[in-house]
Structure 1
Amino acid sequence: MDATDQTSAPAPGTEALMEHLAHAAACYYRSFAVVAGGQGLTLIQGKLLSVLERPMPMRGLAELLGCDASNVTGIVDRLEGRGLLRREADPADRRVKTVRLTPDGEAAVRRIRAEIVTGLPGLAQLGAEDRRALQGLLDRAFPRA
């Protein structure tokens, strides 16, 4: 199908777009799980490390990951035991525990991000214009807080 055929075809409905997004997410997480496993991590452990771009309270991590705070505690315990992150008391409220990556955790995240690209070759094949367009569409459909 060439570009003119795409613009004259009816636009897909919301349900069709959701199915495409679900497929894209499944491809991404399947690849992510393989890469995380290669680092000796579960999918959720790798995901927790990768979302820690800055120090974050445990409760914030639970909300971001969409799971119960008690689950996050167990995940953090295991990652802290491996030296990939550490918990610190928040100076403003010592009851709040903030989680931050250690240098080893930062290195693990860099390795995961570098390897994930090989599992998603379709993204690497997009040209600059397509990448900008995709980023713009994703930003509009899923704005960041």
Structure 2
Amino acid sequence: MSPNADADAGTEADAVVADLSGLVFEVTGRLRAQFNAAAAELGLPPAQALVLTNLAGPAPMRELADWLSCEPSNVTGIVDGLERRGLVTRQPAPGDRRVKHVVLTEAGEHKRRELRSRSHALARTFFELPGPDQKHLRDLLTRVLTGPSAGGDSESG
């Protein structure tokens, strides 16, 4: 292969990567907008909805700040709002009473199920592809997220 052919192949590969990046950002933006719409239908600001839907168990405020990529003081305001709605409580951490864990209440569990159901219904319409295409897209995205060492060869085709 000539040097120009290598350069052309590199330029084409760069264009494909740029297209992929743009498409993934657009898909992410649309999914985020749909999630935010589902949250708004339930009267939740997006940040509160994110905490609510992803709070799997008691979690320290610091962990929520890390997950949301924000300062702990921002998390305090988000949790205050959820607490005022009766969706979470703050409880002392076992072993260190200075650390507060955020815990879903029964109402919070119910609201979380409702939010997940609504956002899943919107995602289902967004990814309206034939079943095999959905599975193929899922598998490709999984390979991207797990990295090249877990996904097999790096050749296209």
TM-score, normalization: structure 1?
0.82
Encode CA deviations 1:46-101: one digit per residue, 9 max, x unaligned: 01101102221111111111111100011101101111011111112212111121
Per the alignment, residue 154 of structure 2 pairs with none
CA drift of 1:44 comes to 0.9
1:56 aligns with 2:59: yes
Structure 1 residues 7-86: aligned runs within 5 Å: 13-86=16-89
Structure 1 SS opposite 2:97: coil
Counterpart selection for 1:101 from 94, 104, 112: 104
Aligned length: 133
Encode CA deviations 1:83-134: one digit per residue, 9 max, x unaligned: 10111111122121111211111111111111123333132x2344333323
1:122 aligns with 2:126: yes
Aligned counterparts of 1:55 and 1:129: Cα–Cα separation in 2: 37
Aligned counterparts of 2:144 and 2:76: Cα–Cα separation in 1: 32
Structure 1 SS opposite 2:110: helix
Aligned counterparts of 1:25 and 1:70: Cα–Cα separation in 2: 27
Encode CA deviations 1:17-53: one digit per residue, 9 max, x unaligned: 1111111111111111111111111011101101102
Per the alignment, residue 135 of structure 2 pairs with 132
* Partner AA of 2:106 in structure 1: P
* Partner AA of 2:84 in structure 1: G
Gaps of at least 5 residues in structure 1 are 1-9
* Partner AA of 1:99 in structure 2: V
Per the alignment, residue 110 of structure 1 pairs with 113
**What's the C-alpha RMSD, in Å, of the aligned pairs?**
1.8
Structure 2 SS opposite 1:142: helix
Among the aligned pairs, what percent are the same residue?
38
Q: Which stretches of structure 1, 4 residues or more, deviate above 3 A after TM superposition? A: none
